[in-house]
Amino acid sequence: MSLIAGLGNPGREYAGTRHNIGFELVDRLAEVLSIPLQPAGGLYMAGEGSFKSNPVQLIKPLTFMNRSGSAIRKAVNRFHTPLEECLVCYDDINLEPGRIRLRAKGSAGGHNGLTSIIQSLQTDQFPRLRIGIGNNFSRGRQSDYVLSPFTNDERKIMNETLDYAVDAVLEFIRSGIEQTMNRFN
């Protein structure tokens, strides 16, 4: 079973912010795959379905971004998901808006949500999909930037990016990380 985890912060005040692009991706996948998301396991929202006869579990941690690790670990254990089938999707300030990048493993790259997951799983050996949000902020203003909404122009770009990211996730479900990286990176 593929486990697709989108990172973000719960609560209406964070909806539509740059840091919640992982949540938005999972919401789009839930719509495309007709998978309703519901509270599950106390630490996340989840929904189960399939794509091309491949079972899929979607999750959105409710632990806030910087503590995502406990929710991901609990979901991986609950659904008995091999780490190579767990795709973590999140925002990346090191990529310009409109870009995505897939990796089979690697460091957190300064992302606190990913740091939490690596610490909780005690490994960095899991696939991830980074969604570019850009870095148009002044020194010391990163937190304000990632917690702010996209501009109207950025939102148009991000909507197209999310459509492309949905296609990448569906390819991951069907074919795994290597083929998906070859096609979408």
Q: Which of 18, 19, 60, 74 is catalytic?
A: 19
Residue 23 buriedness (CB in 10 A; 0-12 / 13-18 / 19+): buried
Of 85, 67, 65, 66, residue with least CA distance to 76: 85
d(CA 160, CA 116): 29
Q: In this structure, what is the dihedral angle of CA atoms 116, 182, 59, 30, given to the nearest 10 degrees?
A: 150
- Three-state DSSP at 11 gives coil
d(CA 30, CA 46): 10
User: DSSP secondary-structure letter at 133?
Assistant: -
- Beta partners for residue 128, in sequence order: 88, 103
Residue 11 buriedness (CB in 10 A; 0-12 / 13-18 / 19+): exposed
Q: Specify whether 19 is catalytic.
A: yes
Q: Annotated catalytic sites, by residue? A: 19
